Chains A and B, each alone.
Chain A
Amino acid sequence: MTTTDSPPDAKPGRLKPPTRRRNHGDTERGFSRVFRWITTGSGAFLLLVLAAVAVFLIARGLPALTASPEELSGKGGLPTGMNSLWDLVGPLVFGTLLAAAMALLLATPVAIGIALFISHYAPRRAASVIGYVIDLLAAIPSVVFGLWGGRTLAPIISDVWVWIAGVLDFLPFWTVNVTNTGRSLATASVVLAVMVLPIITAVSREVFLQTPTLHEEAALALGATRWEMIRTAVLPFGRSGVISAAMLGLGRALGETMAVLMILSPGILYSFQIFDSGQQQTIAAFIASRFAEASGLAVNVLIATGLALFVITMVVNMGARAIVARRKEFSGAN
């Protein structure tokens, strides 16, 4: 290729050049250099896309942020009775966080259970079958979850919600309302939980499998039962991994659109009535339901709510990173 590729026997007496070449970065020649550019380009491209999205959201959302209350309720298509953007974005952010938090609350314990079963309890063959099924669950499109949740799950699960509301009836200061259709945030959260289950399970399983065998055997040698071994060796080791898994799931739950759109009877309120209809709405589903008919300033309003979702997702992810980084020292991973 080049002159440096000349046969070694041409300069028999010198031994140093190879090392020096490496010191000067000469391992990068030919395609190796091109490949370096490709990977650098890919990394830069990712940042570029993110920046482009951020710029788009800010630029197109700005007219809604600066518009007067009259314009917003007129052309901006704010629901009647609202006169500032925050009246709309606030309840939407609330609904989005509530739905995602409930989904996570339901999904994480189950996901840890499945992951532990696969990594520590199941016979090898059963473990691989279950792992396969979990991956399959991740491949189901969200619109299918939406159809299933709206048409099959909601009518069935509504009986459960009615029962729970009846049990909670003793609360003196709070009446629990419940809808007979099952199209409530509670149902939407259950479906969201099913959707984030695969992602949390898959990551947790990988982390649990990496528990040093020495730790586990040490625990067993000290007379621990298998549950005690998991509690003292596996869970502390996997904690940061499980947290980042949950945060990945949270990211999906925050942005999920179709399933919520097809299941929930929305309303734009700050409300903890999770079994009733017409109470909450998530940002993503709100945008999807309104965008088709929106024009002019109404589009800017929708994009401004999208900006809010973008910020929330970023904050959540940064928070997750911070937690993981802080826990790393205690996890025993190093």
Chain B
Amino acid sequence: MEYVSPEGLRLDGRRPMEMRQIRGEIGVVDKADGSAVFEMGNTKVIAAVYGPREVPNRSQQMNDRALVRCEYTMANFSTGDRMRKPKGDRRSTEISLVIRQTMEACIMTHLMPRTQIDIFVQVLQADGGKSRCLIAAVGTRSACINAATLALSDAGIPMRDLVTSCSAGYLNSTPLLDLNYVEDSAGGADVTLGIMPKLDKVTLLQMDAKLPLDIFENVMQLAIEGCKAVATYIRQVLLENTKQLEYRRGTHGQSPAYSAFKVLFSAARRFIAVLMKFDGGYIMETVFDEGSRLKIKHIQSSIPNQRAVFRF
């Protein structure tokens, strides 16, 4: 089969060195400490990070560094044909392991001894056309790693660098960047690479099928370029997110001005919550407890008439 046309176009219309469309978004799971969704073409992955937190299983606690755990799950509806799912099967265990090892390499675990960091990766959609595809899972691992990186940065976990991942292959004597499902299942070589772009270090490298050494160098160089492009994009997403946060906290430009105060609630005279009107929207919150003032803990969103949520 011809995967690259004489005009130099691939089956989905891309050039050999072109990536599928990528999109990342931060903060999609409100309850998690950090979360992100990452899309590469038709592949769509959600990652959520919980931690650093106390290690629930004491026997796993490590006194010199944090415990990093990862679980990869595919939704029933993520593939073309509905999966009758075997939960915790070998393939997902293997991918969990790959993601964990890749992320562990970049997290500064020594800064958080006796804690645990959980990374949960959920595949919502796997590129894979209409067939019952097991290979689809293979194509998702790059997206999973990129989503995990975004989620870890959203959670504010100290990292050496952003790990990014991308795959490259070799079909019809042409090195191809970011294989889609059809190209992936063609049986050619497939190199999945994860790098730390600033440190220029490889944290993940997988390849199946055989490839002459000089060609392998080319393909790997292509994958490195892909990873770097993803890294640039991820940096943009993070920067945009930071700007948004800055804006929401009112530290963008000028300091906040409280324009109105309103005592909202007093249950059995134990707590008083004060609602503050602020730059047009309402935000929270100050709490008093029988004379002694408690700290302002956090700022709620700008929904009118929102009452305080307290964390003592």
Partners in one complex: no
Contact surface of B with A, Cβ cutoff 8 Å:
none
Contact surface of A with B, Cβ cutoff 8 Å:
none
